[in-house]
Amino acid sequence: MAIEWTGSGPDLLVKLDRSGDETLGAQLQNQLREAIRAGRLAAGERLPSSRMLARELDVSRGLVVDTYAQLEAEGYLDSRAGSATRVATRAVPAVPPAPAGEVRRRPTVDFDYGVPDLAGFPMKDWLWALGEAAKSAPFAALGNDEHRGMGELREVVAAYLRRVRGADVDADNVVICSGFAQGLGVVAAALKRLGIDTVAAEDPRSLDTDASIERIGSTVVSVPVDGRGIDVERLAATSARAVVVTPAHQAPTGVLLAPERRKELIAWAIERDAFVIEDDYDAEFRYDRQPVGAMQGLSPCQVVAIGSVSKSLAPGLRLGWIVCPAELTPVIAREKEIADRGSPALDQLALAHMIRSGRYDRHLRRMRTVYAARREALVAALAEHAPCVRVSGLAAGFHAVLDLAEGADERAIVAAALERSVGVQAMSRWRSSGATVPPQLVIGFGNVTESAIGRGIETIADLLTSAPGSPAAA
């Protein structure tokens, strides 16, 4: 598909050899023919005007006009009065179809995990914040010096986390990153530089965690999660000197790390001279009346806290932060500098404006209401269509866990649901062993409307209550 260039369009790569025997007109014709045959100029693509191309090549306009006329006569170009000269559709060779590959079908109702309401993104507020950033940013902000993040955003993030999450932090110990995945990779690289190359992680967990850690040559060990969070006794039995946890809303089981486990975890870190890497997952969206503070506030010397706006705003913004223990700040900042020289400056300043202006919190309050309504719609749909299914993990965030019938095959149910154009996910995809016991499904409702939630649950209700192979599941 040809790009419809606006304005004058980009330059066209043509090289004319004025020292050769071939005339300039012949060279230009040959190069344009070859560009069309090779697909560098697509069918329907607009060519520069004869006047512009003549100026770029430092040739007479008549030479270009004659070239275009010749190629039009040969069927390579089309031109109409009052319109641009374009590559003729018939001149471009047919492209053979790409080999058939596996194509993920997009379900009609997609209970995708970890996806916020993308249509709810506060575009008007973000555009305002970008405008404010562009108006107020000094030209120096467009340089390449703020590797650990723009000072303005680090100040705002530190103040915000102190107030909202109970963090013990100042701007000097904040490093801006592009989200949790990069933040974890940067922290893991910094720890390895200090000799810590074995990192524990919750089981189940996002296996992207493993990729971020293993890509720099460190080892991941799994520690099981129960109804009170990560099993600290099992953690202590490993050789790890760092652990990745999601204490506010365990991903994906949804359990809250119990207060006594938090204390045990901090005690383990102090005794072993280890570090807790806190993924402040889903902390923005709690539905009970008791907010849960960040673990970092309990022990700033032992906890590295990583947060982002991927859930609160949108993952495509690629902005997050690392709250570092003071002794780790220089090495983490250095690893971030090596990784990418810094995050986009104007986006950082826009986020600072958005948080400081109150627009960020206004958006969070609105989305809490939206997600709470969807949460209730999910509970109501299950109560109506699958009342025997136990649902958990709903204290925060926008996903839930459904317990399936004993002996149910998670993967078979996921496949059967997809045949009905409903997307759900098996808990086993987050387990390091791939085990399916107990069988569970993970249901995301962040990017699904209330009416779609009801339709989706009604469509797969029989699958949720029966093992595959029974009449109800057939």
| Residue 69: Cβ within 10 Å count | 14
Q: What is the C-alpha to C-alpha distance for residues 197 and 190, in angstroms, rounded to an integer?
A: 10
Q: What is the C-alpha to C-alpha distance for residues 246 and 279, in angstroms, rounded to an integer?
A: 5
Residue 203 carries which DSSP code? E
Strand 229-230 with 440-444, pairing: unpaired
Tell me the per-residue pLDDT of 251-282, one tens digit each, with 9 for 90 and over.
Answer: 999 999 999 999 999 999 999 999 999 998 88
Residue 46 carries which DSSP code? B
Strand 320-323 with 303-308, pairing: antiparallel
Tell me the per-residue pLDDT of 26-49, one tens digit each, with 9 for 90 and over.
Answer: 999 999 999 998 888 888 888 998
Tell me the per-residue pLDDT of 284-336, one tens digit each, with 9 for 90 and over.
Answer: 888 876 777 899 999 999 999 999 999 999 999 999 999 999 999 999 999 99
Cis peptide before 252 (omega within 30 of 0): yes
Q: What is the C-alpha to C-alpha distance for residues 403 and 48, in angstroms, rounded to an integer?
A: 62
For residue 396, which amino acid is it?
A
Range(s) within the chain of domains with CATH label 3.40.640.10? 122-358
The whole-number average pLDDT for the span 187-200 is: 96
Taking 60 as the threshold, does the pLDDT of residue 393 lie above it?
Answer: yes
Output the pLDDT for position 441: 96
Tokens at residue 397, please? 């965030």
Tell me the per-residue pLDDT of 62-89, one tens digit each, with 9 for 90 and over.
Answer: 999 999 999 999 999 998 877 788 899 8
Please state, for a pLDDT cut of 70, what percent of the chain lies above it: 94
Q: Which CATH architecture does the domain made up of 24-91 adopt?
A: Orthogonal Bundle (1.10)
Range(s) within the chain of domains with CATH label 3.90.1150.10? 109-115+361-465
Nearest CA to 241 out of 279, 192, 281 is that of 192
Nearest CA to 397 out of 462, 343, 443 is that of 443
Q: From 3.40.190.10, 3.90.700.10, 3.40.640.10, 3.40.50.720, which CATH number describes the 122-358 domain?
A: 3.40.640.10
For residue 96, which amino acid is it?
P
The whole-number average pLDDT for the span 119-131 is: 96
> Burial code of 377-396, b = ≥16 C-beta within 10 A, e = fewer?
bbeebbeebbeebebebbbb
Under 8 Å between Cβ of 350 and 129: yes
Output the pLDDT for position 342: 81
| Residue 338: Cβ within 10 Å count | 11
Q: What is the C-alpha to C-alpha distance for residues 185 and 172, in angstroms, rounded to an integer?
A: 20
Tell me if residue 202 falls in helix, strand or coil.
strand
Tokens at residue 275, please? 């570090």
Output the pLDDT for position 103: 55
Range(s) within the chain of domains with CATH label 1.10.10.10? 24-91
Output the pLDDT for position 96: 59
The whole-number average pLDDT for the span 191-215 is: 94
Tokens at residue 378, please? 């999910």
Q: What is the dihedral of CA 156, 315, 337, 248, to 10 degrees?
A: 60
| Residue 407: Cβ within 10 Å count | 13
Under 8 Å between Cβ of 414 and 374: no
Query: Which tops the pLDDT comparison, 469 or 429?
Result: 429
User: Could you give the count of Cα atoms lying within 13 Å of 452 in the half-sphere of its Cβ?
Assistant: 16
CA separation, residue 41 to residues 1, 57, 84 (Å): 10, 18, 14
Output the pLDDT for position 445: 96
Q: Which CATH architecture does the domain made up of 109-115+361-465 adopt?
A: Alpha-Beta Complex (3.90)
Residue 219 carries which DSSP code? E
Q: What is the C-alpha to C-alpha distance for residues 202 and 431, in angstroms, rounded to an integer?
A: 9
Query: Which tops the pLDDT comparison, 421 or 283?
Result: 421
* pLDDT tier for residue 473 given thresholds of 50, 70 and 90: very low
Under 8 Å between Cβ of 333 and 175: yes
